Structure 1
């Protein structure tokens, strides 16, 4: 038994692993604004490099990082990598919603390189050309793979690595988070982790520092803060034509001091506002020198202040959703040790949180802070309730208008299909079903039948009429017109030359030699009557002559 005791003391239970960290971001010497964002805490590290320039690269990176920071904890019950991947996909859908609301942001996107330390494993997710390096057991290596055009050329053996830095398309991304892909392909991996290993996460702005210089700095600079500062300073010395963001972290075992520090009480909104006055100057309508504090999340937005109040209530601000987003975010950030840099830090400080009002506020209120979902979610939904009817009314009106237009177009099209007309097809007379018009790219008629009547066999006038199309009441009427064209060469209905009204003209009258019809004698066998007293000269007895018949002359 005595021999067992030292062995038991030599293998104490392993304590949980956490990250020690430092971060820095700089706009560089050329760019007008910083499109990079980064967050690092004890369990989560994320670097995002926004693209889109003036169109919203900073919005894309800030929205993505701020949407992910609630993952900074270690309790995942074995599905940490799934949660991490799903959260990045959710951030991607958030960017698409932002573009839908503000089309000026179209084309924005961001890279994402992230590490989630949970349950003794390091979960890695990556898309784009930001990078992750690991120093472990003396070996320094790049864990991430650049999703760029030149990297694909290198992988295919069409380009040497040393040629990549001078390639004209070195910044062309093949995969990125944004409104260009509904389901972007991520690089995912779960890695073994051990205390003492170091990680460098950075945007591609660090690429202007030679790789061996970066490696030497990470190896030789023991202090994480000093290492991050040195890497950014080296980038600035190299000209820094792009934004540069660096996270340095080291995996260590959690100590008793870490546990006590992590148990930070959530700071009430009033105290948070008092300590961080510059953070809310962009949120309120009050004077810049004395900005009023926004109301806490669990207060109703009803205006209870008198009309002559010296400071306007935050509930009167039209951007109430932004107040709530900023307030919830600040409460969350105050609940745990972390560093937030770049565009995401600027958004948190100014309250210009790039979120979708309602959806993100309620979701954050339900899942972040101390993970108490019921009260924050109810409060956020109650505050945002007035915006929902307006949205549904708008959609309902739009749907009704679309339904009426669709029904009208369908009825109009159905009516056209009851009509017929005569036209030309392949130099022949044809019958068409419909009307001889187009509705945009839609032809409102179809070919019903092609006859044997050649256009050049018709008189010139009839040819012109057919080419201009001859309307018909129905298919029978169209067939009758075609039969008349075949028989007489005209479009006149054939029943006009079948009968004629009776006439009292003399039987001796003859038709004009050029006429199309002739009148027959009163009787085929009796001679013409002679005039008498009861029958004056030149008159013909009606009784002696039946009604004449009109005969159409048809060329054989």
Structure 2
């Protein structure tokens, strides 16, 4: 045991406790994206398993983990356990606001299982079905309780524990962080801690590895990194239909090497001031009031400066998000840590789920402080703000409805200027309108029925009439009917094809000689052969072929 022994045989000085750690997250064999997130440092470990599928499980877990990582330090003025619980509750409210800004995220949520090591105590907070295991004094036990439907059945004695893994509703959560509950119930505890004890935090993806295999791996694998890699690989070998995230923590005493790389201030005070001022200026200088309403909640619309003050211009409407990403990178660079899963992807890309300047201020602050009058102001603004926006929406909807109605009426009026030839009761008929239908609405009416029977027309003309023959106007329709009555075709006679006659040859073709005509007078010479007649021109009309 590493401890300083002062002269004179005094009690050894206990060094501060910190965490040694390793973490890994994998998307698994089936899923397209990773909805898990995890962070672990010297004082904080947190695993979050997002849900909501395509809607935003990764957003929920990443936003929650990134909003909690500033707790990774060991000095708190008040009760660190209370700070941890408040932070999780506040992260829950931020998820609700994200859904309010982007309704496509509705239904997203996340589990949270976290440890905060502060002042020689280990503070535990948990909600959902991610798990926390502890190996201490040779005893391996699950500290967390799954907030699932099957666990409730087990607690009530209606289901045996061995039946839980095959129950069809084993993944149904009863408690979760998200936009479902404004104040979710957390499992909280403050635990004594000893150097050498180990903790395993994991998402439910690790459940596909048998419990005794997990325990043996944690017991026998001394290297934390190797232990994490082994557990994830075992999950992948088991098929891994879900994401899997594993965090291993070992409690140890701080050494001189740790002190030399101890965490610095999260954000220097000057940078914090500049970030908050810039975020305030960016939101107050937004050129589009509607865009500003969508970017931040009503509680943050109160001006930070007097009304007469002119805010500096801003050319970047996403300055709040950029500042949030910059502040986050400052925090991550200030201390040893591991960030994995969706939260790591968000931090690398800068796509940090934010609530404009409010999230910048929260991430820049070391300890979250709550103002009693903030919820009241927020409620008042939320009640008053939607009214003008509702009138704008109603006006736009009414205008669109008028335009659509006018367009439909004009289109129908145009169809009533058209005519076509069709069939009615086995006779040729003239219709006013067009032959199409608009839903249940027929866009034509019967104008007149002629005496021309369909079976009196050539087959080709019958087919054309049944398919309808369009006409420019009523006169054109009557002309087509007259052509059908006179020639049995659609086209008028002057449109028929009349080829030029072929000139007759000077002598009859050799193949068809003409016999001499016998003369009544035997002494008279035989008559000369008659010239071949010229071919008669052939008229080819539509429908007569």
1:269-348 equivalences under 5 Å are 316-348=315-347
Cα offsets for 1:387-406 (capped at 9, x unmatched): xxxx989955826988xx9x
Do residues 82 (structure 1) and 82 (structure 2) align? yes
Residues in 2 aligned to 1:93 and 1:142: alpha-carbon distance in whole angstroms: 29
The aligned residue for residue 349 of structure 2 is: 350
Cα distance change, pair 162–351 in 1 and its aligned pair in 2 (3 A): same
Q: How far apart, in 2, do the equivalents of 1:60 and 1:96 lie?
A: 10
| Contact kept? 1:107, 1:180, Cα under 8 Å | yes
1:195 Cα deviation after fit? 0.2
| Matching residue of 2:161 | 161
Structure 1 runs not aligned, ≥5 long: 269-294, 303-314, 374-390, 406-556
What is the match of residue 117 of structure 2? Answer: 117
Change (3 A) 1:67 1:263: closer
Aligned match of 2:220: 220
2:360 alignment counterpart: 361
User: Could you tell me how far 1:123 is from its partner in structure 2?
Assistant: 0.3
- Kindly indicate whether the alpha-carbon contact (under 8 Å) linking 1:78 and 1:119 is maintained by their aligned counterparts in 2: no
Once the two structures are superposed, the pairs formed by residues 2-401 of structure 1 within 5 Å of their partners are 8-9=8-9, 11-263=11-263, 316-367=315-366, 398=387
SS of match in other structure, 2:141: strand
Secondary structure of the residue aligned to 1:240 is coil
Alpha-carbon distance between aligned partners in 2 of 1:202 and 1:352, rounded to the nearest angstrom? 25
Alpha carbons of structure 1 residues 106 and 208: separation in structure 2 relative to 1, 3 Å: same
Give the drift of 1:127: 0.3
Equivalents in 1 of 2:342, 2:252: separation in Å? 29
Distance 2:112 2:327 in 1: 23
Contact 1:297 1:327 in 2 (8 A): no
Residue 9 of structure 1: how far off its partner (Å): 3.3
Task: Give unpaired runs (5+ residues) of structure 2.
Answer: 269-273, 283-313, 370-379, 395-545
How far has the Cα of 1:298 moved from its partner? 7.8
Deviations 1:215-247 (A, max 9, x none): 000000000011001100000000010000000
Q: State the alpha-carbon separation in 2 of the partners of residues 336 and 255 from structure 1.
A: 16
**Is the partner of 1:236 in helix, strand or coil?**
helix
Aligned counterparts of 1:359 and 1:54: Cα–Cα separation in 2: 26
| Residue 260 of structure 1: how far off its partner (Å) | 0.6
**Distance change (3 Å), C-alpha of 1:351 and 1:259:** same
Tell me the alpha carbon deviations over residues 137-186 of structure 1, each in whole angstroms, 9 at most, x when there is no partner: 00000000000000011111111111111100000000000000000000
Q: CA deviation at 1:135?
A: 0.2
| Displacement after TM superposition at 1:365 (Å) | 2.4
Q: Tell me the secondary structure at the aligned position of residue 364 of structure 1.
A: helix
2:70–2:266 CA contact under 8 A, matched in 1:
no
Q: TM-score, normalised by structure 2?
A: 0.59
* 2:148–2:174 contact (8 Å) kept in structure 1: yes
Change over 3 Å in CA distance of 1:103–1:299 after alignment to 2: closer
CA distance in 1, matches of 2:126, 2:382: 41
Within 5 Å, give how 1:435-454 maps onto structure 2.
Answer: none
- 1:123 and 1:189 in contact (8 A); partners too: yes
Judge conservation of contact 2:177–2:184 (CA < 8 Å) in 1.
Answer: yes
The alignment of Structure 1 onto Structure 2 pairs a total of residues equal to: 343
Verify the 8 A CA contact 1:51 1:109 in the aligned structure 2: yes
Q: CA deviation at 1:198?
A: 0.2
Indicate if the aligned counterparts of 1:131 and 1:201 stay in contact, CA closer than 8 A: yes
| Equivalent-residue separation in structure 2 for 1:79 and 1:267 (angstroms) | 22
Indicate conservation of the 8 Å contact 2:136/2:198, yes or no: yes
Q: TM-score normalized by structure 1?
A: 0.58
Whole-Å separation in 1 of the counterparts to 2:185 and 2:141: 23
Instruction: Please say if residues 276 and 357 of structure 2, whose CA atoms lie closer than 8 Å, have aligned partners that are also in contact.
Output: no
- Preserved CA contact (<8 Å) 1:267 1:334: no
Change in CA separation of 1:395 and 1:25 when aligned onto 2, cut-off 3 Å: same
Distance in 2 between residues matched to 1:25 and 1:93, nearest whole Å: 26
Cα distance in 1 between the residues matched to 2:125 and 2:148: 16
Match of 1:461 in 2: none
SS of residue paired to 1:87: helix
Give the Å deviation of 1:324. Answer: 0.7
Q: Deviations for 1:66-96, whole angstroms, at most 9, x for unmatched residues?
A: 0000110111235011100000000000000
> Structure 1 pair 265/358, CA: closer, same or farther in 2 (3 Å)?
closer
How far 1:356 sits from its partner (Å)?
0.4
Q: 1: CA distance between counterparts of 2:357 and 2:276?
A: 13
- 1:322 deviation in Å? 1.4
SS in 2 for 1:358: helix
Q: Does the Cα contact within 8 Å between 1:38 and 1:65 map onto a contact in 2?
A: yes
Provide the C-alpha distance between the structure 2 equivalents of 1:397 and 1:94, rounded to a whole number of angstroms: 20
Contact kept in structure 2, 1:296 and 1:327, CA below 8 Å: no
In structure 1, C-alpha distance between the alignment counterparts of 2:276 and 2:89, rounded to whole Å: 27
Question: Structure 1 residues 195 and 399 mapped into 2: Cα distance closer, same or farther (>3 Å)?
Answer: same
1:263 deviates by 4.7
Superposition deviation, residue 362 in structure 1? 2.0
Partner of 2:537: none
Aligned counterparts of 1:332 and 1:6: Cα–Cα separation in 2: 36
Q: RMSD between aligned alpha carbons?
A: 3.0
